[in-house]
Structure 1
Amino acid sequence: MEVASSSSPPPQQHSLRLCRMRNSGFGDSRSFSPPPLVPFSVHKGANSGHSLYRPLILRSSSNFSSKCFFHHSKKQIPVLRHHPTRKVEFNRPYYYDRWYSQSRFYRYTVARSELAEFGNSGAALPLPVHEVIGKVRGVCFYTVTAIAAIILFQLMLVAHPFVLLFDRYQRKAQHFIAKIWSTLSVAPFVRIEVQGWENLPPPDTPAVYVSNHQSFFDIYTLLTLGRSFKFISKTSIFLYPIIGWAMYLLGTIPLKRMDSRSQLECFKRCMDLVKKGASVFFFPEGTRSKDGKLGDFKKGAFSVAAKTRVPVVPMTLIGTGKIMPAGHERIVNSGSVKVVIHKPIEGGDAETLRNEARSTIAKVLNSQG
């Protein structure tokens, strides 16, 4: 193998000389092969002996006449627009500096592609195939959701006057339509398993439902249960076309975060709904958990249950964070979701209810790893 020394020009200078000899009519053109295209990082440390790409340069220079690991036709080689001095010519690559001005991603891809032929451990291109598939599934998921929402929202509009007259607080008809919508959206992509149906109170019995919150997919999952409970949602969600309007028709309670007046109004409205026979649903963590760990529970939901003397029904949602990761709502991964409905918790003050509900949910999450 040829090794570059201080007395002999570096390997890439051999490429430069042969190229110029061929263009000027000297040398055997039959034994000439176009010089290899090497990335920017190769030239930086090619002569210092510490570059990871040095074996590639030496290998290509020793077998230059026949074994070149990356070829370009003559038409693809950029032509110099000026003629630098002889000293400058041998200290810079024969292809022009505009090769270096291309994007970092292009140079990175070229380098990794060259390494692939030599079986290097870092040769494989980092193609996030699972993310691409997840985004494709996400497009399909939201397409199905939008089509179903547009059709079923019209039914909700037609039914809403009758709902206000005969079932103003529970709104069972609207929740039945929402169940159809969520089932049509979820069924083609995710399998939902429900455990503990027998622990649900009778449909007309008011209760306070609580669960962990991992993903926006939690709402789709809970709507498939077909229970007419009222969610607590931040006000910005109501601005979404169709989805936000449907939430309004369902009787979802708006809440402005970090606004004490809005929190007080939300608390009073929940109390009023429970007293009139409706059920409410809280995510007591207050926000989605990005790492899947169970956060601290806020006291609001349990204060409503303690003051109205209704049971607290804990639920554990497993797998929703993997299906639709928090902060990456465009991705819908494949998999299954499990809903565990626990036995109702009755009696006690708000602090006791909060601790017992959180320990119940945490126990199941810890058992799942």
Structure 2
Amino acid sequence: MLERTLYIDRVGAFALDRLSCLRNEYANNACTLCQDACAHEAFVFKQGKLRLSPLCTQCGACMGACPTKALSLYGHSLQKALDFVKKEDAPLFACKGEMPCLGALSVDEWCAILLEGKNVTCHLLECATCEHNRGSAVEQRIRVRIDEANDFVGKLHKRERISFASQKPKESTRRAFFERFIAPSKFVPSVPEAPRFELKKVLKTTLSASLRVEPFSFLHTKEIAQNCDNCKECVQFCPSQALSYNHDQTELLFQMGKCIGCGICEDICKKEAITSVKKEVDLIDFAYDRAIVLMHHDLQVCLTCKCAFSYKGGEKVCERCASFEKEHAQMFVLASQSH
């Protein structure tokens, strides 16, 4: 745990876990979601690595955008938000009291909150004068996420909705979030929870049968073309283990419930064989991390190098050997034939 602290950037109560950051761990990744969400340019690159600068205001507006939950705020968690909904008759979310900026919540987290079975109200009336909401960018992201959460829960035939307050609520007697939760001088943020864990957990108790829905921003699906050569790089570099092989490595498997849509598998595929697609999905597959077969490989032994390869028909020679023979054909011409 002590070693982990070496890779955590902190400004007060806010922390960036660099070990969980896609931009730091994968050279081919170009994620800028936290930077795009920050109005204060608190995320900077140093020697090619994303770091947190002292400009951070600890507002938490960027947290809901991070696909790996590498960003955390001391005193805030989805579980606390869920507990708040459970104990309140008419839950009201605002960036005061026990909540940071509502931009800290992602679409799937709003879905999990709504599936607690209560209508929720969000107070965004102070966004207009908020220093973190430049150009109304933060407020717009919050509204888009909430609208998507409402749409998703509606597809489950649930009537609960998140609405927006039309007037300012009565002043809360609770002190502001950052007065209630002052981060201790020494603390280590917990290892980030698997993305969408709470949503999948509640779906397991909600769904009684298969339910197919249209694509949502947190549901990702993949397809693989026949030119896949079974190089295995997409599996090796998948940060969430959404891609894997069966026991004899003849089938490439995909688990939608684990995919975070980072696109690393697509960027690293030299054949450009794997792609993201938008299509209806079964929420049972999502909730239970069910695996589907993306590609079945017919493994054969190459007659030249004697290594196993994905056979596509014709002569049983792997692509590498066939390319080498073609490129260096002159090397295989007998000396007597060259005259």
**TM tier, shorter chain?**
under 0.3
| TM-score (norm: length of structure 1) | 0.24
Query: Which of the pair is proportionally richer in strand?
Result: 2
Tell me which of the two structures has the higher relative contact order, counting C-alpha pairs closer than 8 angstroms and 6 or more residues apart.
1
- TM-score with structure 2 length normalisation? 0.26
Q: Which has the higher helix share?
A: 1
The structure that has the greater radius of gyration is: 1
